[in-house]
């Protein structure tokens, strides 16, 4: 019976930690899109109030729920206007990559903090909780970054592919009314879980090896 309640408590703690780091990961992801677009001369995101860490400006309830349950999710897309860019093609690619890149950077920083805590902090409950928080942050940020690189609209990967390969852009446009359903089916059925899970583990282990080398 004690094990039963302990398992429930552990799961609840995992869900709470995942929800917290997912919220931060998604907000930073969307802010990165808007900030890079702003630096390229586009004031659209700033005028829409999206250059903020206020999660209420960014969250999509279904996307957050999927993030907690399936470790993949999304937020409300940041509005941009590519016609402000000097080079439209490069601008869209830079803005699209900014979100996933930010997630990978946050994941590495999280693992670095965890490594520092494990190496220099005494072992106690508070330290363990912070280490867990850092670990979940790394996992969630890597998951979010990889998921958004999947070339299914409206994810960032589709925008990059569409700019690099015009035929893909035409294909996306031709079936534009169906892609959100395709994405929901892929998430709900776990179709993307295995390949993304394998990539997540590879990146997580790779980053952790780099952190260990840094902290030698």
How far apart (Å, rounded) are the C-alpha atoms in residues 77 and 85? 18
- Quick one: tokens of 96? 């699209």
Name the active-site residue from 25, 29, 30, 145. Answer: 30
End-to-end CA distance of the chain: 43
State whether residue 118 is helix, strand or coil: helix
Query: Is 163 a catalytic site residue?
Result: no
Q: How far is CA 65 from CA 5, 18, 47, 70, in A?
A: 24, 11, 28, 8
Q: Output DSSP code: residue 79.
A: P
State whether residue 59 is helix, strand or coil: strand
Of 104, 97, 98, 99, the closest CA to residue 138 belongs to 104
Q: Output DSSP code: residue 80.
A: -
In sequence order, the 6+-apart residues with CB closer than 8 A to the CB of 133 are 17, 20, 21
127, containing H or E segment: helix 125-148
CB of 80 closer than 8 Å to CB of 44: yes
Catalytically active residues, by annotation: 30
């Amino acid at each position: 019976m004690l094990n039963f309640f302990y398992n429930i408590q552990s799961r609840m703690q995992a869900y709470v930690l995942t929800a917290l780091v997912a919220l931060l990961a998604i907000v930073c992801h969307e802010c990165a899109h808007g900030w890079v677009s702003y630096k390229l001369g586009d004031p659209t995101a700033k005028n829409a109030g999206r250059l903020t860490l206020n999660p209420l400006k960014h969250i999509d309830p279904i996307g957050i729920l999927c993030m907690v349950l399936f470790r993949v999710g999304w937020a409300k897309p940041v509005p941009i206007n590519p016609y402000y860019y000097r080079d439209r093609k490069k601008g869209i690619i830079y803005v699209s990559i900014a979100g996933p890149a930010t997630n990978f950077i946050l994941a590495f920083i999280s693992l670095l903090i965890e490594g520092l805590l494990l190496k220099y902090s005494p072992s106690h409950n508070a330290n363990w909780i912070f280490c867990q928080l850092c670990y979940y942050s790394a996992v969630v940020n890597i998951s979010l970054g990889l998921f958004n690189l999947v070339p299914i609209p409206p994810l960032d990967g589709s925008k990059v592919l569409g700019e690099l390969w015009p035929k893909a852009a035409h294909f996306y446009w031709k079936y534009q009314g169906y892609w959100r359903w395709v994405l929901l089916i892929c998430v709900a059925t776990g179709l993307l879980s295995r390949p993304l899970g394998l990539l997540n583990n590879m990146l997580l282990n790779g980053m952790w090896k780099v952190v260990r080398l840094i902290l030698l």
